[in-house]
Amino acid sequence: TAKLIHDGMEPRRAGYVGIAEVLSDDPEIIRALKDLIDLSF
């Protein structure tokens, strides 16, 4: 995630790509993780 941000990706999107989409392939879990990421920004 830090590398994505360093390379210019918006932090929230980097969180989605580097965390939420990596940890699960279940759409419901990804959505929940994205909600958690949204709370931190």
pLDDT number for residue 16: 93
Reported confidence tier of residue 41, pLDDT bands at 50, 70, 90: confident
Statement: residue 33 has pLDDT above 90: yes
Q: Which pTM was predicted?
A: 0.74
pLDDT band per the 50, 70, 90 thresholds, residue 40: confident
Question: What is the 3-class SS of the chain, one letter each residue?
Answer: CHHHHHCCCCHHHHHHHHHHHHHCCCHHHHHHHHHHHHHHC
- The structure tokens 């958690």 sit at 36
Q: What is the pLDDT of residues 1-32, one digit of tens each?
A: 899 999 999 999 999 999 998 988 899 999 99
